[in-house]
């Protein structure tokens, strides 16, 4: 549990503070990050009674990690603007899931 908490905390703050490194406007990226985080808390709060805590926690860990991994690969090896834009939006999707796991 200690390792999982450490990993989620590092991922959460890495995505929060790393919005400046994403392509595009710094302020727009931070605004989208805030909206995505708030949306994650609201959606997962209302989904908890229907889906269950274990499934939601495991799903947010899995999908958050997958989105961040794909985003990192696209940012590293992306050759055109479409791949870079996809990486940016996958970063926001990863922020959604990591915020859910963090919350």
**Residue found by looking up tokens 């990863």 in the block:** 94
pTM of the predicted protein model: 0.88
51-67 pLDDT tens trace: 988 999 899 999 998 99
Rounded distance between C-alpha atoms, residue 12 and residue 21, angstroms: 15
72-95 pLDDT tens trace: 898 888 888 888 889 889 989 999
Rounded distance between C-alpha atoms, residue 52 and residue 45, angstroms: 10
SS (HEC) of 54-99: HHHHHHHHHHHHHHHHHHHHHHHHCCCHHHHHHHHHHHHHHHHHHH
């Amino acid at each position: 549990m200690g390792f999982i908490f450490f990993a989620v905390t590092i991922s959460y703050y890495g995505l929060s503070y790393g919005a400046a490194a994403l392509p595009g406007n710094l302020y727009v990226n931070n605004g989208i990050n805030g909206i995505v985080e708030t949306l994650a808390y609201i959606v997962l709060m209302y989904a908890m009674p229907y889906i269950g805590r274990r499934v939601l926690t495991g799903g947010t860990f899995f999908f958050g990690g997958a989105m961040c991994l794909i985003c990192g690969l696209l940012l590293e090896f992306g050759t055109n603007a479409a791949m870079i834009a996809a990486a940016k939006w996958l970063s926001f999707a990863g922020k959604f899931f990591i915020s859910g796991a963090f919350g």
